[in-house]
Amino acid sequence: MKVLIVASNNKGFYAPFIVEQVEALRRCGCEIDFFGVTGKGVWGYLRNLSALKEIIRTFHPSVIHAHYGLSGLLANLQLKVPVVTTYHGSDINDPKALGFSKKAMRLSAWNIFVSRGIMEKARQGNNCSLLPCGIDLDLLQPIEKQDARQELGLSSGKKYVLFAGAFDNAVKNAPLAQEAVALLHDENVELLELKGYTRQEVNLLFCAVDTLLLTSLNEGSPQVIKEAMACGCPIVSVDVGDVKERTDGLEGCFVSKTREPQELVGLLQKAFQFKGKTDGRARIVADGLDNCAVAKRIVEIYERVRYD
């Protein structure tokens, strides 16, 4: 089956979770090509329509799979090939984006939501599925903490907190994380920014730090949480997206009831006291959230809507 992926390429590359999902789909037998959208806002996206129609004419896909609502809207402006659109969170949580995503939902042959929260907010009809993005369990492997620290050049005696994103990404809410760490009043604790690392180095970071800290204002189904789970990394998070559902009952994983920095301080201290690795990797497998299992479910959706 031929599948055309439609997704933003404004940064010169596709989001890693999209690329890794595509690799899993290829292993399921799909022949895949990419159409990279360039441009900002709805009018920037719509300027890609002629180029999209041209690649459809030459590639002859059975299905188009668009990622995010604006890509889904663009993909549906051609009328020949059925579209599956995946909504990742920002396209639903942002009120301005939600309107365009609603239009994409009505036009798409099928809609995939990565978390129950955004699915409920979207209030979509019957042609939809709840399906978080999977993760690459072959890429993300548990490594001994001191071995990982040595590889990264980190101190063996410090406590490291890995912030779940870039400090300059406003949605990730770095000020809350920075305030919580400052309130620990411990010079031996360092907050690390998750930015500018290779995928292999990210694996090492999850294994090297004492905990991951997520303080986002909104999320869908944050990949960083599932990736940390796959490496057995302890987690401290605000209650956002599907974090509580993913980590419920896992020792070493703590979700705050409020967004008060003092509560996060207490949870960070609990994470520091947790020794060893969490059972997060086993939970990922049990929930069917490895990339191969998710890809098989996506192929079932393709088969349901495909055009030949």
pLDDT per residue as tens digits for the range 44-63: 999 999 999 999 999 999 99
Residue 276 pLDDT exceeds 80: yes
Residue 308 pLDDT exceeds 90: no
Query: Around Cβ 218, how many Cβ atoms within 10 Å?
Result: 15
Answer yes or no: pTM beyond 0.85: yes
Residue 135 DSSP code: B
> 132-165 burial string, b = 16+ CB within 10 Å, else e?
bbbbbbebbbbbebeebbebbebeeeebbbbbbb
* Fold equal for 2-134+290-305 and 145-286: yes
Secondary-structure breakdown of the chain: helix, strand, coil percentages, each rounded to the nearest 5? 45, 15, 40
The closest of 7, 53, 62 to 29, measured between CA atoms, is 62
- The whole-number pLDDT of residue 296 equals 98
Summary mean pLDDT of the chain: 96
- The whole-number pLDDT of residue 227 equals 98
- The whole-number pLDDT of residue 113 equals 97
pLDDT-based confidence at 266, cuts 50/70/90?
very high
Give the pLDDT mean for 89-98: 93
Query: Around Cβ 282, how many Cβ atoms within 10 Å?
Result: 13
- Rounded to the nearest angstrom, the gap between the alpha carbon of residue 294 and the centroid of all alpha carbons in its chain is 13
- Rounded to the nearest angstrom, the gap between the alpha carbon of residue 231 and the centroid of all alpha carbons in its chain is 16
- The whole-number pLDDT of residue 124 equals 80
The closest of 194, 124, 211 to 160, measured between CA atoms, is 211
Residue 132 pLDDT exceeds 80: yes
Query: Around Cβ 258, how many Cβ atoms within 10 Å?
Result: 10
pLDDT-based confidence at 66, cuts 50/70/90?
very high
* Ranges of each domain in the chain: 2-134+290-305, 145-286
DSSP for 43-63, written as a single string: HHHHTTHHHHHHHHHHH--SE
The closest of 139, 140, 193 to 167, measured between CA atoms, is 193
Give the pLDDT mean for 183-189: 97
Q: 21 and 133 in contact (C-beta within 8 Å)?
A: yes
Encoded amino acid at 137, one letter = L
> For 5-40, what is each residue's pLDDT tens digit?
999 999 999 999 999 999 999 999 999 999 999 998
Q: Where are the alpha helices (DSSP H) in the chain?
A: 16-27, 41-46, 49-59, 69-75, 90-93, 95-107, 116-122, 145-152, 174-183, 199-208, 223-230, 243-247, 261-273, 280-286, 291-305
CATH fold of 2-134+290-305, please? Rossmann fold (3.40.50)
What pairing do the DSSP bridges indicate for beta strands 211-214 and 235-237? parallel
Torsion sign (Cα): 264, 265, 270, 274: positive
State whether CATH 3.40.50.2000 applies to domain 145-286: yes
- The whole-number pLDDT of residue 125 equals 79
- Rounded to the nearest angstrom, the gap between the alpha carbon of residue 106 and the centroid of all alpha carbons in its chain is 24
Instruction: Name residues whose C-beta falls within 8 Å of residue 63's C-beta, 6 or more positions apart in sequence.
Output: 1, 2, 3, 4, 81, 82, 83, 84, 302, 305, 306, 307
CA distance 158 to 18: 34
Residue 109 pLDDT exceeds 90: yes
> For 207-252, what is each residue's pLDDT tens digit?
999 999 999 999 999 999 999 999 999 999 999 999 999 999 999 9
- The whole-number pLDDT of residue 307 equals 75
With tokens 């019957």, the residue in question is: 126
- The whole-number pLDDT of residue 42 equals 87
Rounded to 5°, the CA angle 174-120-126 comes to 140
